Chains A and B, each alone.
Chain A
């Protein structure tokens, strides 16, 4: 059986690696999943991503593709005619819109969530999580406007923005465990509550999002390792 000759250098804990995995899953692609130990980076890894030395890296034959959003677009383009759904919309304006929200999520959501989780003092935590709440309100609005009444940002099927956002779900559940507050406020972001359920149970996503308890342990270890 011909293989796609695909390897993903990733880490189960990394939302960015999860993003790439979901894209591969949507496109029905087999690949070798190589979990990098970030403390002793493999030669393959260092050769493939010399600028940033970060995961994930997709290796397709002799080509290395870095940066999760770029990997998703690559996968969508190479396998655009293999009978599986497209990840990006076909219309240029909708594509620009999807890329805009993807970048917004990687900037605002990522930073407020990460900084909130690992902030050492209560005031900082509160400030970052307030910012996160603003971001989620914004995304509720985007979802309502772009879904056309369907389950996902992409409409009937998971699309680029769903993956960009959904890969953070397990980390949002970690925040839920740490703070005792629901990840999505049912009163303020009811669409996101439904979306999160639809996303996590989608066949393309099943088995890829890390289990919350395992991630909580990982997060605690990370927090403990921060020099005070």
Chain B
């Protein structure tokens, strides 16, 4: 039986999804113990439908029975609830910038790269052009910082997990060269810092399995 001060943290997610993975990374960075439940989106669990009736998607964080949906919103909730290893600065302007870049990643950058990797012959050229423009935006922003947040890994870095890890796998499967050392040296360098970070390294899904998963989707 749960005691009055027992914290229960549950994550409903999908192991191959970068959005779901963001939450794993944040919880691991904060050292928060949690139970993970893998959702099958072809056969949605009752919990999923109960906790996110509006979008019926993962990830969903359930904290002491209270559900939170939408990965960036979950990340801010985690940062506000567990104050160690902060993901956001205390400075309002730095916070506004971090929120802007996380939103830009989701609204503009991720979709441009994803579309390029899944584009068919007809749309390929334009999709690739847009993906390269999106990466240029990041290249201009990261400049010579170690992480998007500065010296320490923060919200934007976690939000950019797709760029740091998934892009390499997807572009290889698509036979494209989008993010390379030659084209985007700064983003490339950031991605190496990202995947070599001790907590991130353990928190990302295994490369071979991720590759196989997306390769199988590509063949459909």
Contact = CB atoms under 8 A, between A and B. Distances in A.
B54 A138 contact: yes
Nearest to A76: B92
B96 A65 contact: yes
A66 interface: yes
Nearest to B55: A104
Interface stretch (B3-11, B72-80, B189-197): B72-80
Interface string B49-67: 0000010000000010010
Contacts, number: 55
A70 B93 CA distance: 10
A54 to B, nearest CB: 11
Interface residues of A, number: 23
A73 B99 CA distance: 10
Interface of B: 54, 63, 66, 68-70, 73-74, 76-77, 80-81, 92-93, 95-96, 99-100, 103-104, 108, 137
24 contacts: A51-B104, A51-B108, A51-B137, A65-B96, A67-B100, A70-B96, A70-B103, A73-B95, A73-B96, A73-B99, A74-B92, A74-B93, A77-B95, A78-B92, A92-B80, A92-B81, A95-B76, A95-B77, A96-B68, A96-B74, A96-B77, A99-B73, A100-B68, A100-B73
Given A52-B104, A74-B96, A92-B80, 19 more contacts: A51-B108, A60-B93, A65-B96, A67-B99, A73-B96, A73-B99, A74-B92, A74-B95, A92-B77, A93-B66, A93-B68, A96-B68, A96-B73, A99-B73, A99-B76, A100-B69, A100-B70, A100-B73, A103-B70
